[in-house]
Amino acid sequence: MPVGYSDPMLSEISAELLETMKRAASVLRRAEVPFALAGGFAVYARGGTSSEHDVDFMIREEDVERTLQAYAEEGFRTERPPEDWLVKVYDEDRLVDLIFRPVQRQVTEEVLAESSIVPVGALHIPVLSATMLMEHKLLAFSQHHCDFARALPVARSLREQIDWDQVRRDTEHSVYAKACLYLLSLLEIIPPEPGHEQPSPEDKQQASVPAGADRTGAW
């Protein structure tokens, strides 16, 4: 159901999930665990749109043990999944991911320092920068998971907050990130890479033609 909070940025997030985010953030604060809001909630907090509606926090790996203990003491159910880059806690049946190594990058003090305090559901908490949120989205793509449609809403809605030069530098090792960035430039969502010419009208037309169609868009 719609959130009762007046902030339009959170209008598509359920009231229950918002309360879970607030409870989870409050536990981290009381335990004095450095953290930053990430994922779809962070995109919404920064005024953007995302296809994901979940609660993700970034924490340092050295804080995992005391974080899980703090949540257990507050009545959350804790879980150590097989994946070696996060742990999970549950507020009843609502999941909170506590990520310490997103996209094969260790969460450090420097990473958390790139966050800034943003009001989210009447709380003021650290939220990852739009630039880092975009980098995480791009670096999550692989040969097994390469749905660029997930990146388009984030890029379009947060593009003025994103340092695209930094995104290109930090994701240059990923061919999937390069391909997505090129698509975004073809669609004129982001500026072309410095030193590269503006895509031709033919390139732009090709980018808008559905797969399986000819150059006119016909099947």
pLDDT tens-digit map of 85-141: 999 999 999 999 999 999 999 999 999 999 999 998 889 999 999 999 999 999 999
Min mean pLDDT across 4-18, 19-33, 67-81, 121-135 is at 4-18
pLDDT for the residue numbered 185: 96
Whole-angstrom distance, CA of residue 2 vs CA of residue 5: 9
Q: Which of 3-12, 40-49, 129-138, 185-194 has the lowest mean pLDDT?
A: 3-12
What pLDDT is recorded for position 217? Answer: 41
Instruction: Output the pLDDT for position 204.
Output: 55
Beta-bridged to residue 120, according to DSSP, are 123
Q: Which of 125, 99, 126 is nearest to 115 (CA)?
A: 126
Output the pLDDT for position 15: 85
Q: Lowest-confidence range among 89-98, 180-189, 206-215? A: 206-215
User: What is the three-state SS of 52-102?
Assistant: CCCEEEECCHHHHHHHHHHHHHCCCEEECCCCCCEEEEEECCEEEEEECCH
Distance between alpha carbon 13 and the CA centroid of its chain, in Å?
15
Is 80 a residue whose pLDDT tops 70?
Answer: yes
198 compared with 149, residue with greater pLDDT: 149
* Mean pLDDT, rounded, for 145-174: 95
Give me the helix-helix angle, 151-158 and 130-139, nearest 10°.
Answer: 160
| 186 in Cβ contact with 198 (< 8 Å) | no
Asked whether the beta carbons of 27 and 138 are under 8 A apart, the reply is no
Q: Which residues make Cβ contacts (< 8 Å) with residue 138, sequence separation at least 6?
A: 151, 167, 171, 174, 176, 177, 180, 181
Does the model's pTM come out above 0.75? yes
